[in-house]
Structure formats: structure tokens, C-alpha cells
């Protein structure tokens, strides 16, 4: 028999053991960086992703609605093969910094049950992860809680940028996220406003994924990510490691889509790093019209702000958001806009047609998940008489309950820095 065929069959048997077979992890290969992405349908679909240090021939996710933590992996009744695998692109300075060559893996879990806890382990050849779990959203629920934040990178003048493995503020914010989920188990997801690392090189992403493991709770709960793309996320490493299936592949830039949390709560994610007119504009207009009619709550998230707290108001990319998207937000009456990029904490007054108006839209942000904080211009007109702008690491907690959205900015010490409520327009 051909020796290559023999090796392949041995690998298959290693990843799919027979009953009563003892599973032993190899010393030469590791699997790491557990992460979950939600896109359009979080009640029935999730993307499970991870990293391996060797090019596994067999890459799978084993899963069930009950725990198999102390059982052999073949006790799981369900498994799904990874449908996207490959070597992560590296540069010379990536390897010189000490990060290893590695491989990405992405698996789509489909036809999941809504409002259900799923336990899972992933494997590359004979190496298996510990057991983790996540919870799918419930379509029929009128209640939902999720976290929002952006900008988890280091700063241009940050001493820690010389060694991305340090990043103490990002680690602290990730530990805060895990604590918040443990204290508030109703939290369903982390909506991330982009700029994960200084760039999307493997050196940056490797340490981001290491730090992201700090968001996992003590009992192994992984919080799904709903991601956008920012100006620091342009290298090929981003699309390799943050694959969103058809969302990624819609065109060369992708990363705009609607997440239907429940039958009445939806979030539209947009991409400020590609054309804000053209196809994305047409898609947004059509999606807003359809989604506004069908939902009690409709929010948007994107990276670069329409109403910046730190950077110049008239900057061209911010002006394009106001020119192309804001009129659509106002026409279809979105309930809240989530922005990032500025590295500060902000809440605008309600804005309509570029003026304060109680019937307008509030814009919050603006990036506090570990990036060094800047000093915002609190004297801008949209922060007066009810707005807010300050320098604070933070993550936002959004709680939808009946006809009220309770919104709180939680500081790095787990203290409420700012909170307010919005009543439903429907």
C-alpha cells in the first residue's frame, strides 16, 4: 500500500477514535485561539475558528447540547469538518518577533437550535482543545443583552507597542468582559468596532488571539464576536483569520451584513474601509427599509465616526459617513449608532439633519477596549446639553427589555462611567 495513503488513514483514525480508545494529545502540535463569529443568523448558525501550529490533515469540531467534558471525544454525536484551512501569511518581522508559523481553521455549524447551549471541542489531527460552550440567540425573545466596544490595539506612541505580548490594558478589558459575562449570563455576544491590532500582521493577531482567550469565562463560555473592519485591519491576515463565509466573500472588501438577533432586534454592520456609496449604499438602503419595518429595535455599527470626539469633524472620511449613510439612518429611523476609531468615550445628543433634535439619533463610542485613550473635544456642539466626551477605557453594555434600551459604559474597574435609556420608536 502507498505510504502516503497509510499515513493519511492513521491521521483519520487519530481524529475519529474508536470507542474506548484513550485520547492523548501530541507534544509536537497545539490547537489554540478559540473564537466564534456570528453573522446573519445567530439563532441557527455559528462559525467556529481556531489556530494550529501544524498543518493538520483532519480538522473538525465535535459538538452537542450536553457536556462531554470527562468523556472521550467520540462520545459527541455531532461533528463538522472545517471548510476553510490554510497557512497564515507571515512576514520576516513576524517570525523575528518570536511568533510561530501557524494555520487557520474555520468551521460552519448550521441548523443549530435557538436559545440553546452548545458544548464543543475542535481538533487538528490528534490534538484536541478543551471543551468550551456558547449559547445561540432566541428568535422569539423581546429581551437581549450584548457588549459593544472597539479599538483593542496598542497606540503609535505606546511603549507596549514595542512588545505586543504585553498590552496590559487590553488584557484588563478582556478580563473585565469575562467578569461581566459571569455576572450577567444573559449577555449573548461582543460586538467589536474594529482595529484589533496595530495592523493585521500575524505578529499583531497572534497576540490579539492570545489575549482574547481572557474573555472566556471560568466555566468555558466563549462569547461570539460580531465584527466590523477598521483602518488597521487591511492586511491579508485579517481575511485569513476573521473569515465570515459569504460575508467575507461578497466582494474584495466585504464585512457588511445584518445580524438578526431576535425577531424584533437587529444590528447592521457596515464597512467604512470600502466605498460608502455604490453597492454598499444600495445594499444599506434596501436593508434599512426592510429591517425597519420588521424590527422594534434597529441599530448600526461601523468603525469611522460620523460625529467624532477627537479627530477633526470635517475630515473627508467622516464627512462621507454623514453624506451617504446618516441621511439613510435618519430616513429609516435607526435607534442607535455605534462608532469607534477615536480612542475615547462619547455619547452625542440626539442629532437630526446635523442639528440637536430630541427626535434624532444618538451616536456612541468611540473605542476603549485597550487602546491608549486620547483627550476628546468636549466643547463640540453635539456633546453639549446631554452629551458626553471623556478619556476612559470602557465597554458598552446594551440591554433591550420590552420598550426600553438601557445603555451603560462600563469602565476598566467595572464601574459605570455613563448610562442612559432609549425608548422604542415602535
* pLDDT tens, the chain, 426 aa long: 455 454 444 444 444 433 333 344 433 469 999 999 999 999 999 999 999 999 989 999 999 999 999 898 889 999 999 999 999 999 999 999 999 999 999 999 999 999 999 999 999 998 999 999 999 999 999 999 999 999 999 876 665 566 777 899 999 999 999 999 999 999 999 999 999 999 999 999 999 999 999 999 999 999 999 999 999 998 899 999 999 988 877 666 789 999 999 999 999 999 999 999 989 999 999 999 999 999 999 999 999 999 999 999 999 999 999 999 999 999 999 999 999 999 999 999 999 999 999 999 999 999 999 999 999 999 999 999 999 999 999 999 999 998 999 999 999 999 999 999 999 988
CA torsion 137→140→142→145, rounded to 10°? 0
The reply to whether 170 falls in a domain is: yes
One domain for residues 198 and 347: yes
Q: How many CA atoms lie within 13 A of 26 on its CB side?
A: 16
One domain for residues 105 and 155: no
Taking the model in full, what pTM does it have?
0.92
pLDDT at 254: 87
Is 45 exposed, middle or buried, given 0-12, 13-18 or 19+ CB atoms closer than 10 A? middle
* Cα(194)–Cα(341) distance, integer angstroms: 8
pLDDT at 159: 59
One domain for residues 228 and 101: no
Domain residue limits at 303 = 144-423
* Cα(28)–Cα(127) distance, integer angstroms: 9
Cell of 146: 450584548
Is 178 exposed, middle or buried, given 0-12, 13-18 or 19+ CB atoms closer than 10 A? middle
Residue 76: φ, ψ to 5°: -70, 130
CA torsion 302→305→307→310, rounded to 10°? 140
* Cα(291)–Cα(265) distance, integer angstroms: 9
| CATH (domain of 222) | 3.60.21.10
pLDDT at 252: 61
One domain for residues 113 and 252: no
One domain for residues 258 and 313: yes
What 3 state SS string does 348-361 have? CCCEECCEECCCCE
C-beta of residue 410 within 8 angstroms of C-beta of residue 393:
no
One domain for residues 123 and 150: no
- Of 135, 163, 181, which residue sits at a domain end? 135
What 3 state SS string does 26-46 have? CCCCCEEEEEEECCCCCCCCE
* Cα(416)–Cα(184) distance, integer angstroms: 14
Closest CA to 113 of 80, 142, 135, 144: 135
**Whole-number Cα distances in Å, 62 to 68, 133, 286, 392:** 10, 11, 38, 40
The reply to whether 42 falls in a domain is: no
Is 135 exposed, middle or buried, given 0-12, 13-18 or 19+ CB atoms closer than 10 A? buried
- Of 80, 107, 135, which residue sits at a domain end? 135
DSSP state at residue 129: P
* Cα(409)–Cα(398) distance, integer angstroms: 9
The reply to whether 362 falls in a domain is: yes
Angle at 187 between CA 44 and CA 67, to 5 degrees: 60
One domain for residues 249 and 120: no
One domain for residues 83 and 195: no
Is 87 exposed, middle or buried, given 0-12, 13-18 or 19+ CB atoms closer than 10 A? exposed
Cell of 5: 495513503
pLDDT at 29: 63
Cis peptide before 366 (omega within 30 of 0): yes
One domain for residues 97 and 213: no
Is 252 exposed, middle or buried, given 0-12, 13-18 or 19+ CB atoms closer than 10 A? exposed
The reply to whether 47 falls in a domain is: no
The reply to whether 54 falls in a domain is: no
pLDDT at 162: 64
Domain count, the chain: 2
- Of 114, 135, 156, which residue sits at a domain end? 135
The reply to whether 49 falls in a domain is: no
Coil, helix or strand at residue 394 = strand
* Cα(107)–Cα(19) distance, integer angstroms: 24
What sign for the dihedral angle of Cα 233, 236, 242, 245? Answer: positive
Quote the distance between the C-alpha of residue 394 and its chain's center.
Answer: 16
One domain for residues 123 and 227: no
Bridge partners for 221 per DSSP: 133
Cα R_g (the chain), whole angstroms = 22
One domain for residues 208 and 334: yes
One domain for residues 196 and 114: no
The reply to whether 217 falls in a domain is: yes
Amino acid at each position: 500500500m502507498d505510504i502516503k495513503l497509510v499515513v493519511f488513514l492513521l491521521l483519520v483514525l487519530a481524529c475519529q477514535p474508536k470507542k474506548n480508545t484513550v485520547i492523548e494529545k501530541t507534544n509536537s502540535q497545539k490547537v489554540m485561539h478559540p473564537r466564534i463569529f456570528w453573522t446573519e443568523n445567530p439563532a441557527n448558525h455559528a462559525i467556529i475558528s481556531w489556530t494550529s501550529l501544524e498543518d493538520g490533515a483532519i480538522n473538525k469540531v465535535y459538538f452537542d447540547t450536553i457536556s462531554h467534558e470527562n468523556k472521550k471525544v467520540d462520545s459527541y454525536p455531532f461533528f463538522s469538518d472545517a471548510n476553510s484551512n490554510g497557512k497564515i501569511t507571515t512576514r520576516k518581522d513576524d517570525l523575528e518577533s518570536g511568533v510561530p508559523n501557524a494555520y487557520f481553521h474555520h468551521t460552519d455549524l448550521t441548523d443549530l437550535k435557538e436559545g440553546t447551549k452548545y458544548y464543543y471541542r475542535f481538533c487538528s489531527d490528534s490534538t484536541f482543545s478543551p471543551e468550551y460552550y456558547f449559547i445561540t440567540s432566541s428568535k422569539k425573545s423581546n429581551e437581549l443583552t450584548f457588549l459593544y466596544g472597539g479599538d483593542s490595539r496598542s497606540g503609535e506612541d505606546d511603549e507596549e507597542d514595542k512588545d505586543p505580548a504585553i498590552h496590559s490594558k487590553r488584557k484588563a478589558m478582556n478580563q473585565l468582559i469575562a467578569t461581566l459575562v459571569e455576572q450577567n449570563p444573559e449577555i449573548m455576544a461582543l460586538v467589536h468596532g474594529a482595529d484589533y491590532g496595530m495592523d493585521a500582521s500575524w505578529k499583531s493577531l497572534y497576540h490579539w488571539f492570545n489575549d482574547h482567550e481572557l474573555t472566556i469565562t471560568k466555566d468555558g463560555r466563549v462569547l461570539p464576536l460580531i465584527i466590523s473592519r477598521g483602518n488597521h485591519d487591511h492586511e491579508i491576515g485579517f481575511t485569513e483569520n476573521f473569515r465570515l463565509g459569504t460575508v467575507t466573500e461578497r466582494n474584495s472588501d466585504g464585512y457588511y451584513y445584518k445580524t438578526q438577533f431576535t425577531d424584533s432586534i437587529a444590528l447592521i454592520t457596515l464597512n467604512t474601509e470600502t466605498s460608502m456609496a455604490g453597492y454598499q449604499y444600495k445594499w444599506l438602503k434596501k436593508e434599512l427599509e426592510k429591517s425597519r419595518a420588521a424590527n422594534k429595535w434597529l441599530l448600526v455599527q461601523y468603525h469611522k465616526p460620523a460625529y467624532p470626539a477627537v479627530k477633526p469633524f470635517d475630515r473627508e472620511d467622516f464627512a462621507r459617513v454623514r453624506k451617504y449613510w446618516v441621511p439613510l439612518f435618519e430616513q429609516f429611523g435607526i435607534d442607535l449608532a455605534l462608532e469607534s476609531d477615536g480612542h475615547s468615550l462619547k455619547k452625542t445628543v440626539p442629532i437630526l439633519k446635523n442639528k440637536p433634535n430630541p427626535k434624532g439619533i444618538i451616536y456612541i463610542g468611540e473605542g476603549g477596549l485597550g487602546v491608549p485613550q486620547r483627550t476628546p473635544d468636549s466643547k463640540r456642539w453635539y456633546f453639549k446639553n446631554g452629551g458626553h466626551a471623556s478619556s476612559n477605557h470602557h465597554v458598552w453594555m446594551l440591554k433591550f427589555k420590552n420598550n426600553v434600551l438601557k445603555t451603560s459604559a462600563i469602565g476598566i474597574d467595572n464601574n459605570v462611567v455613563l448610562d442612559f435609556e432609549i425608548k422604542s420608536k415602535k
